[in-house]
Amino acid sequence: MPTNKNSRRIFLKTVAAGSLTTLIIPNALSVAGSDMYSPVSKKEKDLVFLFQGDSITDGNRGRNSDPNHIMGHGYAFSIATRLGCDFPERNLTFINRGISGNKVTDLEKRWKEDCLDLKPDVLSVLIGINDSSSAIATNPMLLPVTPKIFDEVYRLVLDQAVKQNPDIILVLNQPFVFKSKSTEKNWEQRLADLTERQKIVEKIAEDYNAVFVKLQDAFDKACKRAPAEYWIWDGIHPTVAGHELITREWLRQIRKRLRFIKY
């Protein structure tokens, strides 16, 4: 114990410094333990979530304002139901503009109306399987979207979105494929082409500091528990379980930017 005034002052200063350290260190550790290369969103209320892509995103969505069907019946619906129900005080808006059969070149043609005019705060894109199919098709009437065109147009539409909203959160989803009766024709060529596009999307995500959702990896892991057709019924389109898998992986990755999401 301190025995004089000087030692008592030293003791009190030491206690105070220790208390201050106790208050400060947990926050510092929290920051250090987070994804330091993924800036947290400045805006966490009144967010507009826009889902873009092909039939996997489309999910047979409604084409009018009927809120009972507007999000379709795929992963976009599942994400919207969870976040909308769990965080009503944040006034989140969810929009699905996926269109069956779309390629990235189709997105570019409708980008103003179906993206920029909607002013998204969170833009999720899942595209690539139709682009890949066009490149390996034997139909001479189909204009192929080569990997080079895929890369260039993908970046072009993202550039427009970022220019409009520099704080936009981009979520780029890895396209995926499995071998089935629907995809087995030219399988090796198909797999090689889509693998190249997967690498392109990952590189774009890195260049744009986007959230990257590794869906092929997630499905590959899931296939250790059940056959591929349990998750992807025709090698391309997810089952109900497959859409739930996408939902869980998407939410797990988005929380790097939106810290109120704790799934």
| pLDDT for 21 | 34
| pLDDT for 235 | 96
Residue 172: phi and psi, rounded to 5, are -105, 120
Task: Confirm if 58 and 72 have CB atoms less than 8 A apart.
Answer: yes
Name every residue whose Cβ is closer than 8 Å to that of residue 67 and which is 6 or more positions away in sequence: none
- Model confidence over 66-77: pLDDT tens digits? 999 999 999 999
Percent of the chain surpassing pLDDT 90 = 77
Instruction: Classify burial at 249, counting beta carbons within 10 Å of its beta carbon; exposed 0-12, middle 13-18, buried 19 or more.
Output: buried
Closest by alpha carbon to 238, among 74, 70, 60? 74
Indicate the fold that domain 46-254 takes in CATH: Rossmann fold (3.40.50)
Query: Whole-model pTM?
Result: 0.84
- In the numeric block, the tokens 């990755």 are attached to 253
* Rounded mean pLDDT, 73-86: 97
